[in-house]
A and B are shown apart, each in its own frame.
Chain A
Amino acid sequence: MSALTDLTIAEARAGLAAKRFSARELAAAHVEAMERAKDLNAYITPTPDKAMEMAARSDARIAAGQAGALEGIPLAIKDLFCTEGTRTTAASRILDGFVPPYESTVTSQLWRAGAVMLGKTNLDEFAMGSSNMTSAFGGAKNPWKRRGDARDLVPGGSSGGSAAAVAARIAMGATATDTGGSIRQPAAFCGVVGIKPTYGRCSRWGIVAFASSLDQAGPIARDVRDTAIMLGAMAGHDPKDSTSVPRAVPDYEAALGRGVKGLRFGIPREYRLDGMPAEIARLWEQGIAWLREAGAEPVEISLPHTKYALPTYYIVAPAEASSNLARYDGVRFGTRVAGGSIEELYENTRGAGFGAEVRRRILIGTYVLSAGYYDAYYLKAQKVRALIARDFDEAYAKCDVVLTPTAPSAAFAMGEKMDDPVSMYLNDVFTVTVNLAGLPGISLPAGLSSDGLPLGLQLIGRAFDEETLFAASHVLERAAGFSARPGA
């Protein structure tokens, strides 16, 4: 039998049901693997004791015939989800000592389904970044390395710790969040699958807020089926989040077998960027061929406002962040740096507690919202955003799903792209439109770069049509037969 940590969630579910191994054995195998892989820095806070306790309760429920949909499955939780009694950092110094007295809706649904928590994973500070390098705890490392090159690579971001943990087999799956690409880009960099569902699918309640009109939770796992299983447990209406949508959650796993015969998939011409690496362009062509061979029909589409998506994002996201992060005041939770007056206390606490990228974004957000600039920046951006969403509406008159690369490159080395903030922002060029329009998007590993690193393809769906994404990505997954592993 292969190692327990190599199993997919679906395989582990079958093994637990057949009593081939116990939830405690499964948890223990992961706890040991986490200990050996500490150098990856994928976890900010491992919770091995909690994992073993939860696994023991899972075994009791399995024995009593009361197993939930994720019974006994060991998962990692991005350290942006509040977990009752377990410190939650958002990878920021400013949340020092914050132990939430409540549980986020998404994680409480996972525990209700029987999942086991292995720990809290690393991320860019407040999810602001594409490399993990802005984490106050140091970035997680990508378990993959370039062939013949010992340098450590970034796992992407912001959900880099989650993607690295899943790729390194120190979690079967992980929660993540995506504001501009933070699930899909790290999934692509680490050779795993990640889906950002439609805005409103998952409750945002209890997730540390970054940009509320863009943030959405989703799963990262090693194959498409596992993400479908996880999303089924994570999604659903929550009265505590007024933007969560009261729609029934479909059986995502059942959608996997639908196939793509007759499906029209759009190829947006604006995504053919000048200077796109040849191997990314080739992978995209390969993806088109795979879908075509499975009976789907490619359609050339236009998303004319694509080039304005990133600048729009860098108004909307910092503006919302500057407002959301106003709560870190050194009074109610987290760290405090004393001052002679309350204003000084605020300024000292926030000056010392926030890292450079977070400070930068709060200042941009404050600037674009300040008196006299609101119309020129925020209102303008929300208008361009409406045009970006309209581009997709028009495209979906001609096609059912859109196929693109996930990221413009493979994983880069730690420390690269750090000189100029804008060059880091360009990582999200293919993913950010999806957040602005509120649509679902999935990334799956589809091939290797010439130096042996995973590359991802992205499928974008209509609002609330995650099922088509699962069906089409399952077809791509089987065609790609991606079986490479990090460190092999």
Chain B
Amino acid sequence: MSLDKATVARVATLARIKVPDADLERMAGELQGIMSWIEQLSEVDTKDVAPMSSVVGHVLSQRPDAVTDGGRADAVTSCAPERVQIGDGAFFVVPKVIE
């Protein structure tokens, strides 16, 4: 599998990271280098091996289905690059997303 410019551009779009066209070639080279080093995993026989799903065998505990937090819109929006206060409500501001 080779990681070409088009693949890097597609992955960058999936990751929502703007990569200038001029950088695609170099990045494809770097990522290809890393991926071909990773490729050595294919020599490990993992037939009948269950993928690790818990690091130290810890069983996740359950908690009551109860509201324990909330009503803190001011704190939640306090670090937003752009926010607006309308009446009692604090809101994030984004470009128009609905036509």
Contacts and interface: CB of A to CB of B under 8 A. Distances in A.
Contacts of A385: 51-52
Interface in B43-61: 44, 46, 49-53, 55-58, 60-61
Given A199-B56, A438-B56, A348 B46 contact: no
B3 A367 contact: yes
Nearest to B46: A383
Contacts of B76: 101, 332
Interface string B47-89: 0011111011110110100000000000111111110000000
Nearest to B93: A331
B11 A343 contact: no
B51 A386 contact: yes
B17 A350 contact: yes
Contact of A364 (B35, B77, B94): B35
A359 B17 contact: yes
Contact of A246 (B11, B14, B41, B61): B61
Contact of A245 (B19, B27, B49, B56): B56
A239 B14 CA distance: 34
Given A346-B16, A348-B18, A363 B55 contact: no
Interface string B11-25: 111111111000000
A421 B30 contact: yes
A335 B82 CA distance: 10
Contacts of A200: 55-56, 58
Place the interface of chain B in its size category: 35 or more
A95 B57 CA distance: 34
With a 10 A CB-CB cut-off, give which of B79, B92, B97 has the most chain A CB atoms.
B79
B56 A363 contact: no
Contact of B37 (A311, A348, A380): A311
Given A246-B61, A421-B34, A97 B79 contact: yes
A364 B40 contact: no
Place the interface of chain A in its size category: 35 or more
Contact of A242 (B30, B61, B79): B61
Interface in A339-386: 339-348, 350-352, 354, 359-360, 362-367, 370, 377, 379-386
B95 to A, nearest CB: 5
Contact of A382 (B12, B52, B78, B79): B52
Contacts of B52: 382-383, 385-386, 389
Contacts of A99: 78-79
Contacts of A346: 16
B79 A98 contact: yes
B48 to A, nearest CB: 10
Given A308-B40, A335-B81, A362-B15, A242 B60 contact: yes
Nearest to B63: A239
A129 to B, nearest CB: 14
Given A200-B56, A200-B58, A348-B18, A334 B79 contact: yes
With a 10 A CB-CB cut-off, give which of B33, B46, B52, B61 has the most chain A CB atoms.
B52
Contacts of A350: 15-18
Contacts of B6: none
B31 A363 contact: yes
Contacts of B34: 314, 360, 364, 421-422
A308 B16 CA distance: 30
A360 B41 contact: no
Contact of B46 (A242, A363, A384, A420): A384
Given A364-B35, A370-B11, A332 B16 contact: no
Contacts of A198: 56
Contacts of A387: 44, 46, 49
Nearest to A358: B17
A354 B39 CA distance: 26
Contact of B53 (A314, A359, A367, A382): A382
A11 B37 CA distance: 48
A326 B37 CA distance: 26
Interface of A: 97-102, 198-200, 213, 239, 242-243, 245-246, 305, 307-308, 311-312, 314-315, 322, 326, 329-336, 339-348, 350-352, 354, 359-360, 362-367, 370, 377, 379-387, 389, 420-422, 437-438, 463-464
7 contacts: A199-B56, A239-B63, A307-B40, A360-B27, A363-B27, A366-B15, A383-B51
Given A246-B61, A350-B15, 12 more contacts: A101-B75, A199-B56, A239-B63, A311-B37, A346-B16, A350-B17, A359-B19, A364-B34, A370-B11, A380-B41, A381-B41, A385-B52
